[in-house]
Amino acid sequence: MNSELRKEITEQKWIFAKTYAKTAPHEYIVRKSSPKFFDKMKKLIDQEGYDAPWRDGTIYRYLKIGDYKYWYIEDILNRDKI
């Protein structure tokens, strides 16, 4: 992964998902807060990610970068510490 992308990731204002604090702690950003970054990550996840089931069996596409895995659901980009 290039250093420019890593820099962009650290510059984002990730929001802790309070609703899932006990069951599935993670952070997220919404597309409207950073559309170019969101679209870049979505494309990268689609091209280089892998499919895996979530707890309920729903399949999502994930991408590992550093200590995190990233995935999106509609206009929300999520990340969780690996």
Q: What does the pLDDT read at residue 71?
A: 97
* β-bridge mates for residue 50, sequence order: 62
Structure tokens at 17: 């998902």
For the chain, the domains span: 3-81
Per-residue pLDDT of the chain (82 residues; tens, 9 = 90+): 578 999 999 999 999 999 989 888 999 999 999 999 999 999 999 999 999 998 889 999 999 999 999 999 999 999 999 9
> Among 79, 67, 81, which Cα is nearest to 37's?
79
Give the global pTM.
0.91
